[in-house]
Amino acid sequence: MKPIIDLRSDTMTKPSPGMRQAIAEAEVGDDVWGEDPTVNKLEAFAAEMLGKPAAIFVPSGTMANQIAVRSLTNPGDEIIIETGAHIVRYESGAVSALSGIQPCMLSAPRGILTAEQVEAAIRPSDIHNPPTTLICLENTHNRAGGTVYPLGTISQIRDIATSRNVAMHLDGARLFNAVCATGIAPDVYASRFETVSFCLSKGLGAPVGSMVVSSESRIARMRRIRKMYGGGMRQAGILAAAGLYALEHNIARLHEDHANAQLLAQGLAKIPGVAIDEKTVETNIVLFDVGGMTQKPDQLFDRLKDEGVLVSRFTPTTFRAVTHLDVSRQDILDAIDSLKNVLESKSLKR
């Protein structure tokens, strides 16, 4: 058996020896009582990094988004969101089930809504209309292939939101990938939003955990909602220690993942029949289409697995490969060889 190169997701990262050391040495207390020093330190550190007064540690990115949406809306409200966004696509219907809101979903090329689109979707105040109270953006946009939201577009949407008295939430699960790709500081992005969530457990390599940053009063509200959702954790400092380690050690290296994604995209582009637009690879996610091959995607997927290259299925013909800190440049070169072996012989249908 060849060694496995796991490109299914950046959630596959495992804690490094240094991170495990930090976990082992963490000081802990009961965080529901506000007494875990390591959680408190992580929350203060995250708030500072994102330029907000307060932060809250939660078990998952889904909970981070859900407590933020709940804190900013009332049942019967409408939120504006892109169709492919994680919040509506991959969170088990939680916004409707837990916040009682209805999503107004807009599709946008590469996941990036325009200010005009958002403005047109805000409901006029009328007894018949659900009040639009929240706009959710996603940066980087996962389903669109790790695309970066241009800061100018975010700012235009912010201006409209402010003038129409609508709040904004950023699903920044991979915000640090956007920071790395653009050089724009995380607090500059965060300044455009009431609430920002981000994941410690993806490319940053922690085993568990996400954060939400916001004002003191909103975070206080979210603490109660987190408890209601079952997310109040006790000696969570052993997890928070991993999160602190991730923020301190694993942000500066994200550019390696982006370079590896570029390398992979270039390799894929050379394989006849693979449809990929290299220009769209902006961060650590590579989407490619195998619909032009003679073999069915199911068979290609299985053969890749036999070769030790794991990717995920995105559409019936699209595969997603995500680079992360447990995948080296050599792994990518090996993965390209395997991809060539599997795909190159399967010439075009035409």
Ligand X SMILES: *Cc1c(COP(=O)(O)O)cnc(C)c1O
Amino acid at 85: A
φ and ψ at 223, to 5 degrees?
-60, -40
Contact between 83 and ligand X per CB under 6 A? no
CB of 206 to ligand X, least distance (A): 11
Half-sphere exposure of 27 (CA within 13 A, CB side): 7
C-beta of 81 vs 167, nearer to ligand X: 81
Contact between 169 and ligand X per CB under 6 A? no
**Residue whose beta carbon is closest to ligand X:** 61
150: tokens are 């241009």
Query: What angle do helix axes 61-72 and 216-228 make, rounded to 10 degrees?
Result: 120
CB of 174 to ligand X, least distance (A): 6
Q: Which of residues 187-226 bind ligand X (CB under 6 A)?
A: 199, 210
Instruction: Among 13, 62, 133, 214, indicate the residue that binds ligand X (CB under 6 A).
Output: 62
Instruction: Among 49, 55, 69, 86, indicate the residue that binds ligand X (CB under 6 A).
Output: 86
**Distances from the Cα of 173 to the Cα of 1, 16, 125, 130, 211, angstroms:** 34, 21, 32, 28, 9
User: Could you tell me the strand order of the sheet in which 167-171 lies?
Assistant: 54-58, 210-214, 195-199, 167-171, 132-138, 78-82, 102-106
Half-sphere exposure of 220 (CA within 13 A, CB side): 4
CB of 25 to ligand X, least distance (A): 25
Rounded to whole angstroms, the Cα distance separating 326 from 38 reads: 26
Rounded to whole angstroms, the Cα distance separating 145 from 347 reads: 25
345: tokens are 């012989």
249: tokens are 């050690």
From 97, 100, 101, select the one nearest 78 (Cα to Cα): 101
CB of 87 to ligand X, least distance (A): 7
CB of 211 to ligand X, least distance (A): 11
C-beta of 169 vs 346, nearer to ligand X: 169
Instruction: Among 16, 60, 280, 317, indicate the residue that binds ligand X (CB under 6 A).
Output: 60
Site string for ligand X, 116-155 (x = CB under 6 A): ----------------------x---x-------------
Residue 168 near residue 160, CB atoms below 8 Å? no
Amino acid at 83: T
CB of 10 to ligand X, least distance (A): 8
C-beta of 59 vs 237, nearer to ligand X: 59
C-beta of 111 vs 237, nearer to ligand X: 111
Contact between 284 and ligand X per CB under 6 A? no
CB of 311 to ligand X, least distance (A): 16
Q: 205: left (phi > 0), else alpha (psi -120 to 50), else beta?
A: left
Residue whose tokens read 């990115």: 61
- Number of helical H runs and strand E runs in the chain: 14, 12
Rounded to whole angstroms, the Cα distance separating 89 from 82 reads: 10
Contact between 61 and ligand X per CB under 6 A? yes
Site string for ligand X, 316-335 (x = CB under 6 A): --------------------
C-beta of 210 vs 323, nearer to ligand X: 210
Beta strands in 165-292 (DSSP E): 167-171, 195-199, 210-214, 285-289
CB of 50 to ligand X, least distance (A): 16
Rounded to whole angstroms, the Cα distance separating 156 from 164 reads: 13
Question: How many residues make contact with ligand X (CB under 6 A)?
Answer: 11
CB of 142 to ligand X, least distance (A): 4
C-beta of 193 vs 343, nearer to ligand X: 193
Rounded to whole angstroms, the Cα distance separating 24 from 245 reads: 12
Residues contributing to the site for ligand X (CB under 6 A):
60-62, 65, 86, 138, 142, 171, 173, 199, 210
